[in-house]
Amino acid sequence: MLTHSTLPDIHAALAGLGATLALVTLVWLVSLAKRNVSIVDVFWGLGFVVLAWLYRATAPDPTFRALLVSLLGTVWGLRLSGYILWRNWGRGEDYRYRDMRQRRGARFPVVSLWTVFWLQGVILWVVALPIFAAARAAGPPGLTLLDAAGVTLFAVGLWFETVGDLQLARFKADPANRGKVMDRGLWRFTRHPNYFGDAVVWWGFFAFAAATGAWWSAVGPALMTVLLLRVSGVSLLERGLAESKPGYRAYIERTSAFVPWFPKS
């Protein structure tokens, strides 16, 4: 049963949404100057960092849980944004945005504001609801078993993300691997260890929120998981890989798509 202490502070939540939309609008203005919408991908992780500290700073009675969640959110967000910045450096605009720019023509700069920047801002705000709940809750004051589960899930997820990204970067850096399928290390057990790790991290943040009774915040990691599996993650990426890499269909047949598991013979 929901009580007053477990219900979200609507005014504080809307303030977070307003701050998020203001920030992505500023990023949109920068994208107009640079003619590169891909900078929104770099901002994605940083947006969570800003929200985490905003929620803690405006909490009426911040707890140690609020500090812990803000710190973990900062680690996750900075790692992700730093990696995307390094990966995209000098590569120009992502092909998805180039195609959109070509289709929209002169209207693209304005259209991109709500179809790319504001849309991602709203998604960011929804995904971050567990951080909002955990950062602003007054109790319980001490850490619980659910908080311990949150730390564990966060650590496991971050490990999968970080190791998976590093393994893939090293694989791509070797010219001998051009055109080949990455099926080594963590990629032997799941076709997307980085996406799997991302989802686990956010279910970890939900565990912190659940410790305060904010079960409603499950909508955040649920949305992130759906996006990773069905929208901008696995489905979108594999659509092109199956056509461009000759061995990818066989890789799909023997390797789990998301949750790590032993490959089929």
Per-residue pLDDT of the chain (265 residues; tens, 9 = 90+): 344 444 568 889 999 999 999 999 999 999 999 999 999 999 999 999 999 999 999 998 889 999 999 999 999 999 999 999 999 998 889 888 999 999 999 999 999 999 999 999 999 999 999 999 999 998 888 899 999 999 999 999 999 999 999 999 999 999 999 989 999 999 999 999 999 999 999 999 999 999 999 999 999 999 999 999 988 778 778 877 877 788 888 999 999 999 999 999 7
Q: What is the pLDDT of residues 23-60, one digit of tens each?
A: 999 999 999 999 999 999 999 999 999 999 999 999 98
> Residues 46, 25: contact at Cβ < 8 Å?
no
Q: Taking Cα atoms as reference points, which of 154, 164, 169 lies closest to residue 221? A: 154
> Residues 117, 47: contact at Cβ < 8 Å?
no
> Residues 197, 164: contact at Cβ < 8 Å?
yes
- Rounded Cα distance, 136 and 262, in Å: 41
